[in-house]
Homo-oligomer: A and B are copies of this chain.
Amino acid sequence: MSRIGSAKVHWVGMSTAAREVHWLGEGHRLLHAGPPLAWSEMCGAMRNAAVGAIVYERWAATLEEARAMAERGEVEFASAHAHGMLGPMAGIVSPAMPVFIVENLSFANRVFVTINEGLGQTLRFGANGGSVIERLRWMERQLAPLLEEAIMLGGSVDLSAIIERALQRGDECHNRNKSATSLLFRRIAPWLVRSSFSKERIVEVLDFIDQNDHFFLNLSMAASKATMDSVRDVPGSTIVSCMAANGHSFAIQVAGLGSHWFDEPAPLAQGRYFTGYGAEDANPVMGDSYLSEAAGLGGVAMAASPAISNFIGGTVQDAIQATEEMYRITDAEHPRFRIPFLNYRGTPFGIDLRKVVETRIAPVINTGIAHRNPGVGQIGAGLFRPPLDCFKNAYVAVTT
CB pair A178–B185 under 8 Å, yes or no, is no
Q: Does A306 contact B (CB under 8 A)?
A: yes
- Bound-state CA distance A87–B306 (Å) is 34
Q: Does A80 contact B (CB under 8 A)?
A: no
Majority secondary structure, A binding face: helix
- Bound-state CA distance A210–B317 (Å) is 35
Contact mask for chain A residues 340-375; partner B; CB cutoff 8 A; 1 contact, 0 none? 111110000000000000000000000000000000
CB pair A307–B168 under 8 Å, yes or no, is yes
- Bound-state CA distance A184–B310 (Å) is 25
CB pair B186–A210 under 8 Å, yes or no, is yes
Question: Which of A95-103, A189-197, A271-279 touches B?
Answer: A189-197
CB pair A185–B179 under 8 Å, yes or no, is no
Taking a contact as CB atoms closer than 8 A, the residue among B194, B340, B344 that contacts A199 in the complex is B194
Residues of B within 8 A of A193 (CB): 193, 199, 202-203, 206
- Bound-state CA distance A393–B262 (Å) is 73
Residues of B within 8 A of A310 (CB): 340, 344
Residues A156-188 near B (CB distance < 8 A): 168-170, 178-179, 182-183, 185-187
Residues of B within 8 A of A186 (CB): 182, 185-186, 210
- Bound-state CA distance A310–B343 (Å) is 8
- Interface size on A (CB < 8 Å)? 31
Q: Does A42 contact B (CB under 8 A)?
A: no
Residues of B within 8 A of A344 (CB): 306, 310
Contact mask for chain A residues 19-30; partner B; CB cutoff 8 A; 1 contact, 0 none? 000000000000
CB pair A340–B203 under 8 Å, yes or no, is no
- Bound-state CA distance A344–B193 (Å) is 38
CB pair B203–A190 under 8 Å, yes or no, is yes
Residues of B within 8 A of A206 (CB): 189-190, 193
Q: Does A315 contact B (CB under 8 A)?
A: yes
- Bound-state CA distance A194–B203 (Å) is 7
Q: Does A207 contact B (CB under 8 A)?
A: yes
- Bound-state CA distance A190–B170 (Å) is 25
CB pair B341–A306 under 8 Å, yes or no, is yes
Q: Does A70 contact B (CB under 8 A)?
A: no
Residues of B within 8 A of A388 (CB): none
Q: Does A151 contact B (CB under 8 A)?
A: no
- Beyond the given A306-B344, A310-B340, could you list 10 further A-B residue pairs with CB under 8 A, ordered by the A residue number? A182-B185, A185-B189, A187-B210, A190-B203, A190-B206, A193-B202, A193-B203, A306-B341, A307-B340, A341-B341
Residues of A at the B interface (CB closer than 8 Å) are: 168-170, 178-179, 182-183, 185-187, 189-190, 193-194, 199, 202-203, 206-207, 210, 306-307, 310, 315-317, 340-344
Closest 6 CB pairs of A and B: A182-B182, A306-B340, A169-B169, A190-B206, A169-B170, A189-B189
